A and B are shown apart, each in its own frame.
Chain A
Amino acid sequence: MPVNEQQCCPQPNAGSSRRSFLLKLGAALNVVAATFIGIPVVGFVFSSFRRKGPSNSWVSLGALEKFPAGETRLATYRNPFTRPWDGPTGDIPCWVRRIEGERFQVFAINCTHLGCPVRWFQESHLFMCPCHGGAFYEDGSHASGPPPRGLFEYDFKVEDGQLFVKGGQLPTLSQPV
């Protein structure tokens, strides 16, 4: 740094060391100040990179009577973590299969391949995906196509005659529901 100073200022005098000190002071002050501005900016932008608290909580899918034994029905719930401006995107669908009594299977709507919404076909007892042709059996296991695993399954519990599932986040391969 001092070498450069001397190169750029051909006549070194008493003022030069003062100037170079002021330059260094100014630069250092700016670095410190910019850090104070930068830390909250970076923290703000990347705050959603770190997930805080649990991402799941119990939500009701409605009374047990809505789900006849031996049938698979579409159910929806309001995502437990929403903003007031989420609109319809906060309503999440899922497939409820009531095997019998209080034995259920609740599947995420998202195909395990790339997340498209799978549809239940009552006659052939298959879930089919409209995007890349994945198909699943009625118990959620992989039947054909590119999906690497069976359908994502929610934890469920029955309480006060209602079916609850633990929902709250978009299921992906590295983090199923």
Chain B
Amino acid sequence: MLRKIALWIEDRVHVSKLYASTAKHQVPRNAESWFYVLGSGTLLCFIIQIVTGTCLAFVYVPSASEAYTSLEYLNYHQQLGWLLRAMHNWGSNFMVAIMILHMAQVFLFGAFKYPREMTWITGVVLLLCTLGMAFTGQVLRFDQDAYWGLGIGAAMMGRVPVIGPDLVHFVLAGPIIAGETLSRFFTLHVFIIPGTIIALVSLHLRLVLTKGINEYPVPGKAVVKATYEQEYEDLLHKDGVPFVPKAISKDLIFSGVVMLGIVGCALYFGPEGPHGVPDPTQINTIPKPDFFFLWLYAVLALLPDYLETTLILTVPVILLGVLFTLPFISGTGEKSARRRPVAVLAVLLIFLSVGTLNYLGTYSPWSPHMASWSADQTPVKYVMGRTPLEAQGALVLQNKQCRNCHSLDGSGGLRGPALDGVATRLTGDQLIRQVIQGGGNMPAYGKNLSPAEVAALVEFMKTLHGPNEAPARDATTPGTPGRVEKQSSQSARSSEP
């Protein structure tokens, strides 16, 4: 009976024909490698995202007034809602990570070269779509980070000349970040981008069937347009294996590991956020993007300001230009990474830069620590045994929020230099000038400090040097340390024991 049903389906649907032309297609035996599991791993993550995302959409309300509540509901009331949210979040982390590795592998193995240019180009668009999913997904987790993240996006688009304001209005779907903005990003995240991804993945896979999977590159064997396709055909005949059941085994093992990884991380770490009500009047917030965009957050803090707008507007265009034209610039020649030192160095450089920037983004040394002035105590060793004037100076340092940018004994902001040894770098006069005039990225405090406060502050800072370390002295008067002593005793009494 079952056999009859199977035969009937086969007769009507031609399953075995489809199977023979897809799953059983021949691949070079040397492509049966652990390096070749990353593409199927990315696709698996995408499928998990569709399944978990669809589940979340049963409950999530894409309305600016309700989204946050519905996320809380998912976390705490909906049965298994927390786990589905966690799996969706970790699925996205795994998807971005595996996709980046896939891209690096494809690049290092020369798989973008003739005749697989279109496979690479569709891959680049898929990369953009996936990053688009990451950003829009972060917006749908409609909390403070999402709100201010949208603000950062709008501020960047506001720098576009001429059409800037219209563009901002278009992306926000209104004059401010509000209800229609969320609906817009919901549509992008749930309909437009996933639909595009499904279409492009189909094309991407179709190209793998028509042009074949890249053979494992052999150093010294260059791609020549006239002969490559014939050589590939010969390789398949001589040393080819069917994808199923031969080459797929490693993909299957990797898929299993990825799924266990996603479920494991979801169970262990739980769902991400939402972090705070998306109420712009709650301004005590420190907005930060998810890790996919932390590097960008770091770049925007570290760029010199005179270059910023130019780079924000041109670098993405240049990068995309390079990615899209890569298979045409370097479409033939060596495939093996062993013969392409520049390619290897480029990948290393990009990974190191993005890694370093992401690491910096996690603790953002360029941002003031907003609560340091009230939360971080002045270390006892810096106030013990000091004169009343110096102790008063320590109080000024604390109250005037200097600690938000300057650290003492390792606690406090990292925006400005640590003040622990400041007396060895600046003389009393230089300290006064720096406090009053600012400069070198420090605001001027001349209007906000009375002369008495400045005197006390500087007197305290002159005590900030290690034991047996000589204080800084005026370089314009060499060999007369006595004069320095005299000078500083003029501004206030010297008291170092």
Chain A residues with a Cβ under 8 A of chain B: 46, 48-51, 55, 74, 76, 79, 81-83, 85-93, 109-110, 113-119, 121, 123-126, 128-133, 135, 137, 143-148, 168-170, 172-175
Q: What separation, in Å, do the CA atoms of A145 and B305 have in the docked complex?
A: 8
> Out of B63, B151, B404, which one reaches A170, CB within 8 Å?
B151
Q: What separation, in Å, do the CA atoms of A49 and B448 have in the docked complex?
A: 45
| A91: nearest chain-B partner, CB-CB | B281
A90-B283 contact, Cβ under 8 Å, with A135-B443, A143-B443, A144-B441: no
Chain A residues with Cβ below 8 Å from B279 are 88-89, 91
Chain B residues with Cβ below 8 Å from A92 are 176, 280-281
- A130, B308: Cβ atoms closer than 8 Å: no
- B175, A55: Cβ atoms closer than 8 Å: yes
Q: Can you pick out 9 interface pairs between chain A and chain B where the beta carbons lie within 8 Å of each other? A: A82-B178, A114-B152, A117-B148, A125-B448, A131-B286, A133-B367, A168-B176, A172-B168, A174-B168
- A130, B300: Cβ atoms closer than 8 Å: no
Chain A residues with Cβ below 8 Å from B430 are none
Is residue B368 within 8 Å, beta carbon to beta carbon, of the partner chain? yes
Which one of B159-167, B464-472, B484-492 is at the A interface? B159-167
- B148, A51: Cβ atoms closer than 8 Å: no
B275 vs chain A, min Cβ distance (A)? 14
Q: Is the interface of A mostly helix, strand, loop or mixed?
A: loop
A50-B166 contact, Cβ under 8 Å, with A113-B155, A137-B443: yes
| B155: nearest chain-A partner, CB-CB | A115
- B155, A85: Cβ atoms closer than 8 Å: no
Q: What separation, in Å, do the CA atoms of A158 and B286 have in the docked complex?
A: 34
| A87: nearest chain-B partner, CB-CB | B65
> Out of A83, A114, A143, which one reaches B155, CB within 8 Å?
A114
- A85, B179: Cβ atoms closer than 8 Å: yes
A119-B370 contact, Cβ under 8 Å, with A144-B438, A146-B303: yes
Q: What separation, in Å, do the CA atoms of A125 and B402 have in the docked complex?
A: 12
- The interface size bin for chain B is 35 or more
User: What are the interface flags for B46-70 relative to A under an 8 Å C-beta threshold, 1 for contact and 0 otherwise?
Assistant: 0000000000000000011110000
Q: What separation, in Å, do the CA atoms of A146 and B179 have in the docked complex?
A: 31
Chain B residues with Cβ below 8 Å from A130 are 285-287, 367-368, 370
Q: What separation, in Å, do the CA atoms of A143 and B405 have in the docked complex?
A: 13
Chain A residues with Cβ below 8 Å from B208 are none
A91-B280 contact, Cβ under 8 Å, with A83-B179, A121-B401: yes
- A174, B309: Cβ atoms closer than 8 Å: no
Q: What separation, in Å, do the CA atoms of A11 and B280 have in the docked complex?
A: 73
Besides A79-B175, A116-B148, A130-B286, 18 more A-B contacts (Cβ < 8 Å) are A85-B179, A86-B65, A89-B279, A114-B156, A117-B148, A119-B283, A125-B447, A130-B367, A131-B152, A131-B286, A131-B367, A144-B442, A147-B305, A168-B176, A169-B169, A169-B175, A172-B164, A174-B168
Is residue B174 within 8 Å, beta carbon to beta carbon, of the partner chain? yes
- A74, B283: Cβ atoms closer than 8 Å: yes
B343 vs chain A, min Cβ distance (A)? 33
- B152, A145: Cβ atoms closer than 8 Å: no
B448 vs chain A, min Cβ distance (A)? 4
Is residue B277 within 8 Å, beta carbon to beta carbon, of the partner chain? yes
Chain B residues with Cβ below 8 Å from A169 are 169, 175-176
